[in-house]
Structure 1
Amino acid sequence: MWRGLWTLPMRAARGLCRSCSNRGSGAAAPGSGATIFALSSGQGRCGVAVIRTSGPASGPALRSLTAAQDLPPARSARLRLLSDPRSGEPLDRALVLWFPGPQSFTGEDCAEFHVHGGPAVVSGVLQALGGVPGLRPAEAGEFTRRAFAHGKLSLTEVEGLADLIHAETEAQRRQALRQLDGELGRLCHDWAETLTTALAHVEAYIDFGEDDNLEEDVLERANSAVQGLQAALGAHLRDARRGQRLRSGAHVVIAGPPNAGKSSLVNLLSQKPVSIVSPEPGTTRDVLEIPVDLAGFPVLLSDTAGLRQGVGLVEQEGVRRARASCDFLDTVVARMGAQSSNGSSQRLLLVLNKMDLLSHEGPGPKPDLPPHLLLSCLTGEGLEGLLEALRKELAVVCGDPSTGPPLLTRARHQHHLQGCLDALGQYKEARDLALAAEALRVARRHLTHLTGGGGTEEILDVIFRDFCVGK
């Protein structure tokens, strides 16, 4: 460690870059000077469809379609007759709203048209907007990209919004809403503030190390702050896979001997007949996968061939694939009818099916079994207990979005936090105060990039391409 090795002022270190990217810097939306428009609600017939605009020509477009001299009061709905500005043909009687910038979603002047949701009405209004000078159809994600470019959303909040739109389970919705509310961004901002303070202490020592007015423990405080931040980053990185599983889905494999009821359990959990059920052993000969909402968590559920020595080449291949699925899964294995685990380090939930065949006097003498659950796929008895057990297991491997610190849901988050942690390691090993200060700048830059971009246009394109047109 470099403590005490440098006591002379190091003003040459001032030449090292101290700048960091500001929120939303370098992320201007493509064609941001134009006014865009798009259908923001779903396609097809519906009661109400929402068409929105964003850009400097939003006000003239609203006046043009309503033939009104004055715009409606800001953020207040008004009923207006919409007409084609070129032909004067009435299009619909609709609610219109006016959102002057910067108090709008994108930070620009925006207008919304809440029209009846028939395809002809929507098409007519879109064609009318296309005829207004200065307007063009929006690209996918362009409204959100403009909101990011104008500092209305941080990059992590943008990702949370995308996850919220695509959320299919309760756990995904809760996690996405927490990220959209800015929890991850605020946490990274606090970490960046810690680094800024530590960097200020180091640079003060570089410049004024011989000044009697400088507090003696200034470097110790910087070291303590870095040490605490290293521990926090390490804890989040150890849990990184949990957030990614929650976003993309955990992998649950149902494995066990033939005719134990594996396919019946798949049908019971998915609430649809996705697997063929037959009294003949070896019915399933391949790995069948289906996405399901399991106890509020997203799950890729796999039905596999019965684990035995297959009587034919096809079944033998199915057994091989079943074993391979168990080797590469990242969450929970449910074994049907097995009496002991195979010693694997994977999380194992032992389920004994066909409890309806047990006598009323009880199961009778049996060998010692590891912790297990009883279930009847025929009657559904024991299903609630199994779902609760799965919920607890999935909360462990995916994280509970209702409690604890915000999760890292994307590989990009993990990359920048790992880069920050690596830079802090270089700070601890530096034997030169100038290099130590630069390591702190690199660490802070990673946190800034996580929430504020600062990357290439290609990275931003990847983030926004998953948005639909109109959002």
Structure 2
Amino acid sequence: MRARDTICALASGPPPSAIAVIRISGPAVTDIAGKLLASGLPDARRAALTYIYDETGAPIDQGIALYAKGPASYTGEDTLELYLHGGRAVVDHALRVLTALPGVRLAEPGEFTRRAFEAGKLDLAQAEGIADLIEAETDGQKAQALRQVSGGLSATYASWRDDLTGLLALVEVMVDFPDEGDVSPEASAPLRDKLSALIAEIDTALGDGGIGERIREGFRVAILGAPNAGKSTLLNRLAGREAAIVTATPGTTRDVIEIRRTLGGQVVWFADTAGLRETSDEIEAEGVRRAIRTAAEADLVIHLIDGSAPPEPPPPLPFGAEILTVLSKSDLSAPAAACADHIISALTGEGLAALEADIAARITARAAAVEAPVITRLRHRERLLQGRAALASALATLEAGDGFELVAEDLRLAARHLSALLGRVDVEDVLGAVFSAFCIGK
């Protein structure tokens, strides 16, 4: 079998920088240290100040070398990290020399973490958490990613998988060893109870309102209202720039325009939408349809009303969205405060601070409404839905008395979906549960 490549990459930010970290992992680490480091291979987990040379003996830089011997390393392999001065010439020289060595190449995106996953250092959910932690821009995203990296979400998934493994082991015994004294004829009753309990736990997780995905990707706020209510002006004020075209002509905004903000430690996407009205203009009518669809997918709807115009009723939205009623153009009139949650002037900024604080408080409350850990990716939600469907099928088959063989097949399918959440699919777990719990073959 061909020896595995040794990989290297710049693990810190692009140069120039104060320090550049070059990470190396694989079977050639010991040889690399012997050829390039004046100190030779450092003692494991002890930083060594050393000169780094190229193949001609010319110095690349003086820096710190840190060695971790596998499997006690991030990737499970021998790894070497070089802490160098962060100039572009230093980094380019080091990587050029490394990749010229036999069996050494630049790492592909995510390859260090993939090797860690393959070595059993972390599961797939934790690996996704590392990616989220690297990309985190808010306190909420960082906290959620840290919980995932530390195994909080994995522990929940693993618990369900273990429960399912036990159920499958019990059913397998009923199928393969119906005459064994260890198997009770009334075993289907507790099996139904355990199946129902597991389905209920998964339903609770799926009923989180998508909070984990919202924290990761951003909460959605749609700005709705009649034409010329001041929606685009409000969006520009929130963005701090001219993100949307503002004119006195009704129907200027035809498509959804989004800007990104951070409020209450969470990412919030504000969407300017076409004015809501009946129109024969085909393009504007499509804009209105998109406005309604955007509001249907939003976490909060700002119903913006022109305070200088006659009062208007709330928009007829075909869903139960949370609506925040806001009167605009307070610089042109003095509307009654009783008919709105906020009164603002997007042109002058009056009332904007209070509006932003209210939105931030609502988003923060929603983010904290579900107990962590929560589902963080669409991949997780889809697998749980598929696993839940298989469990429901197993329960229905069990209640109909159609045979344990069909129940076992549904449970195996559910187990594959739950195992895929962690990147593990292993029938040996089922075999181990059968032998340990039922003493078969003793």
Shorter-chain TM-score bucket reads: 0.7 to 0.9
Residues 12, 20 of structure 2: 8 Å contact kept: yes
| Residue identity opposite 1:439 in structure 2 | D
Residues 211, 370 of structure 2: 8 Å contact kept: no
Task: Answer with 184-193 or 262-271: which moved more.
Answer: 262-271
* Larger RCO, structures 1/2 (Cα 8 Å, 6+ apart): 1
The reply on whether 1:40 has 2:46 as its aligned counterpart is no
CA distance in 1 between counterparts of 2:425 and 2:350 reads 55
- Counterparts in 2 of 1:316-395, with a 5 A limit? 317-318=283-284, 320-329=286-295, 330-331=297-298, 332-337=300-305, 339-344=312-317, 345=319, 346-356=321-331, 363=335, 369=339, 372-394=341-363
The reply on whether 1:236 has 2:202 as its aligned counterpart is no
Q: Which residue of 2 aligns with 1:414?
A: 381
Alignment deviations for residues 376-424 of structure 1 (CA, whole Å, 9 cap, x no partner): 334544334322432354457xx62695132323232122212211111
CA distance in 1 between counterparts of 2:176 and 2:277 reads 73
Residues 185, 451 of structure 1: 8 Å contact kept: yes
- Residue 145 of structure 1, CA deviation: 0.9
| Residue identity opposite 1:83 in structure 2 | Y
Equivalent residue for 1:62, pick from 12, 33, 36: 33
- Residue 299 of structure 1, CA deviation: 3.4
What is the TM-score of this pair, normalised by structure 2? 0.83
Secondary structure at the counterpart of residue 38 of structure 1: strand
- Residue 75 of structure 1, CA deviation: 2.1
Residues 305, 327 of structure 2: 8 Å contact kept: yes
| Residue identity opposite 2:390 in structure 1 | A
- Residue 135 of structure 1, CA deviation: 1.2
Secondary structure at the counterpart of residue 441 of structure 1: helix
Residues 37, 51 of structure 1: 8 Å contact kept: yes
Residues 424, 440 of structure 1: 8 Å contact kept: yes
Residues 350, 373 of structure 1: 8 Å contact kept: yes
Q: Give the gaps of 5 or more residues in structure 1.
A: 1-30, 456-471
Equivalent residue for 2:48, pick from 70, 75, 78: 78
Residues 256, 291 of structure 2: 8 Å contact kept: no
CA distance in 1 between counterparts of 2:270 and 2:71 reads 46
Residues 255, 290 of structure 2: 8 Å contact kept: no
Q: 1:438 to 1:259 in 2, by over 3 A?
A: closer
- Counterparts in 2 of 1:218-229, with a 5 A limit? 218-229=187-198
- Residue 39 of structure 1, CA deviation: 0.9
Secondary structure at the counterpart of residue 255 of structure 1: strand
Residues 77, 96 of structure 1: 8 Å contact kept: yes
Q: 1:403 to 1:235 in 2, by over 3 A?
A: closer
| Residue identity opposite 1:327 in structure 2 | R
The reply on whether 1:287 has 2:255 as its aligned counterpart is yes
- Residue 33 of structure 1, CA deviation: 0.8
Q: 1:207 to 1:137 in 2, by over 3 A?
A: closer
- Residue 216 of structure 1, CA deviation: 6.6
CA distance in 1 between counterparts of 2:83 and 2:180 reads 67
CA distance in 2 between counterparts of 1:352 and 1:137 reads 57
- Residue 232 of structure 1, CA deviation: 1.5
Q: Which residue of 1 aligns with 2:223?
A: 254
- Counterparts in 2 of 1:35-184, with a 5 A limit? 35-69=6-40, 71-84=41-54, 86-184=55-153
Equivalent residue for 1:302, pick from 252, 266, 271: 271
- Residue 214 of structure 1, CA deviation: 5.0
Alignment deviations for residues 75-123 of structure 1 (CA, whole Å, 9 cap, x no partner): 2222211111x21111111111111111111110001111111110101
CA distance in 2 between counterparts of 1:259 and 1:429 reads 55
Q: 1:134 to 1:258 in 2, by over 3 A?
A: same
- Counterparts in 2 of 1:391-470, with a 5 A limit? 391-394=360-363, 400=367, 404-430=371-397, 431-454=402-425
CA distance in 1 between counterparts of 2:194 and 2:109 reads 42
Percent identity between the aligned chains? 37
Q: Give the gaps of 5 or more residues in structure 2.
A: 307-311, 427-442
CA distance in 2 between counterparts of 1:307 and 1:428 reads 47
| Residue identity opposite 2:163 in structure 1 | T
Q: Which residue of 1 aligns with 2:432?
A: none
- Residue 205 of structure 1, CA deviation: 4.4
CA distance in 1 between counterparts of 2:164 and 2:213 reads 27
Secondary structure at the counterpart of residue 253 of structure 1: strand
CA distance in 2 between counterparts of 1:76 and 1:289 reads 53
CA distance in 1 between counterparts of 2:382 and 2:231 reads 39
Q: Which residue of 1 aligns with 2:435?
A: none
Q: 1:408 to 1:32 in 2, by over 3 A?
A: farther
Q: 1:293 to 1:453 in 2, by over 3 A?
A: farther
The alignment covers a number of residue pairs equal to: 412
Secondary structure at the counterpart of residue 43 of structure 2: coil
Q: 1:51 to 1:98 in 2, by over 3 A?
A: same
- Residue 47 of structure 1, CA deviation: 0.9
Q: 1:317 to 1:440 in 2, by over 3 A?
A: closer
- Residue 133 of structure 1, CA deviation: 2.7
Task: Answer with 379-388 or 204-213: which moved more.
Answer: 204-213
Q: 1:291 to 1:401 in 2, by over 3 A?
A: farther
- Residue 239 of structure 1, CA deviation: 3.3
Alignment deviations for residues 292-337 of structure 1 (CA, whole Å, 9 cap, x no partner): 1241333332223444578x96xx8446414422224411321221
- Residue 34 of structure 1, CA deviation: 1.1
CA distance in 2 between counterparts of 1:322 and 1:131 reads 59
CA distance in 1 between counterparts of 2:270 and 2:97 reads 48
Alignment deviations for residues 273-308 of structure 1 (CA, whole Å, 9 cap, x no partner): 323456x35484333523412413333322234445
Residues 160, 176 of structure 1: 8 Å contact kept: yes
Alignment deviations for residues 37-95 of structure 1 (CA, whole Å, 9 cap, x no partner): 111112231111111100011122123221334x22222222211111x2111111111
CA distance in 2 between counterparts of 1:402 and 1:123 reads 48
